[in-house]
A and B are shown apart, each in its own frame.
Chain A
């Protein structure tokens, strides 16, 4: 297993929101990728956006400016 790092993890209410996030981040060249929701956050499955911690401001801005609804924003070891 690879070594875990502390990262920014955004969770969503629906898969559609997660897909909107991926599309928007790619469009605005915000780094990150979709991952399965880490079980330390929720055992309930779904997709999350995982990005480097230092991208937090950019991630929050892109969501705000494009109306992407998040469930929660976490910093955790993934």
Chain B
């Protein structure tokens, strides 16, 4: 089996991640619930991962990192905890439903939303973004990269627009955390939402968010905190304020090991390998008659994703054929990104997404190119 669905989740994880999760089952009590050896071991492991994430994203300190189950939870916390009726929010057609659906819920309650369109390559206009700012604009909320095309949004330019207008800058880093370095402070990011199971190479059920010092988010959940038990309200101090209930300690142990792996291997090394595989695949399939590729490949500042269609074939049929006849795993359909597909004109057909990991090989790429060629015959 050749796995090319790394934009959905990375299947192959470093051995150290599996080991850390397994070992955690032998030692972890409930973090923050008492001072017993197992409880403290759990607290130490979780705090260690919190510190690593703070370093990884250049947060002010570890208390600005909150653990959640995934990007979706982080984005819901950010949107519902910061946006109010009467506010205006700017977002883009590149977004995943984990951004769009919470925003639509806000819209039902009186929040105004501007969705920036894109050109035929799938890129947004920063001039349009700048001119979309209104008196009641509260935030710019955007992805760092489209999970369909792999095109990236320039966080520096977006952060500058947010900064000069005094707007909150909320970023969905689901596709880029672990591929590109993200310095939240230099980019002016107020809230960064990330998941642990994609390019961060951690277990599913791990994720989190960075929240800039001074920003207070209304919590989505309240409940057990391990501290301040007789307070009828959930503690307002970060990170406890946004972490009600027992954390996914075993998963977080794995995420900690994954972050060490990324640090030791180097994001540059990982990214160059992935982009080189992407480029090899792109060059292999782009000249095949009947193959249509989506996205901007005029730059290497993009995510290692190639989405394509073959003639008028339904993307699900193509993906199924690749899987059953060739053992190649891809993702067809709409990728939870309805506006992106609408903009690309692929609502009916969907697209077949190939997304690469540094664990993939050139041989796998060449095999997949041959498979695509064969399917167009």
Contact = CB atoms under 8 A, between A and B. Distances in A.
Interface string B37-50: 00010011011001
B156 interface: no
B62 A16 contact: yes
Interface residues of A, number: 20
Interface stretch (B1-9, B86-94, B226-234): B226-234
B267 interface: no
A15 B43 CA distance: 8
Contact of B47 (A19, A43, A46): A19
A14 B62 CA distance: 12
Interface in B207-248: 226-231, 235, 237-240
Contacts of B46: 19
B43 A14 contact: no
A17 B239 CA distance: 9
B345 interface: no
Interface in A40-55: 43-47
Given A44-B227, A45-B226, A15 B240 contact: yes
B286 interface: no
Contacts of B231: 44
Interface in A41-76: 43-47, 67
Nearest to A50: B35
Q: Mostly helix, strand, loop or mixed at chain B's interface?
A: loop
Given A35-B35, A44-B230, A45-B227, A14 B44 contact: no
B63 to A, nearest CB: 5
B61 interface: yes
Given A34-B35, A47-B32, A13 B227 contact: yes
A16 B227 contact: no
Nearest to B50: A16
Contact of B239 (A12, A14, A34, A35): A14
A15 B237 contact: no
A38 to B, nearest CB: 11
Contacts of A67: 61
B31 interface: yes
Given A16-B50, A35-B35, A44 B228 contact: yes
A23 interface: yes
A20 B32 contact: no
The CB with the most chain B CB atoms within 10 A, among A14, A17, A35, A36, is that of A14
A45 B230 CA distance: 9
Contact of A36 (B31, B34, B238, B240): B34
A59 B200 CA distance: 36
Given A20-B62, A44-B230, A15 B31 contact: yes
Contacts of B63: 14, 16-17, 20
A34 B50 contact: no
A72 B326 CA distance: 64
B230 A16 contact: no
Contact of B40 (A14, A34, A43): A34
Contacts of B31: 15
A45 B224 CA distance: 11
A42 to B, nearest CB: 8
Interface in B62-83: 62-63
Contacts of A46: 32, 226-228
Given A16-B240, A36-B35, A47-B32, 10 more contacts: A13-B235, A14-B235, A14-B238, A15-B226, A19-B46, A22-B44, A23-B47, A43-B229, A44-B227, A46-B228
11 contacts: A13-B240, A14-B238, A14-B239, A15-B226, A16-B239, A22-B44, A35-B35, A45-B229, A46-B32, A47-B32, A47-B35
8 nearest CB pairs, A to B: A15-B32, A19-B47, A46-B227, A13-B237, A14-B240, A44-B229, A44-B228, A36-B35
Interface of B: 31-35, 40, 43-44, 46-47, 50, 61-63, 226-231, 235, 237-240
Interface of A: 12-20, 22-23, 34-36, 43-47, 67
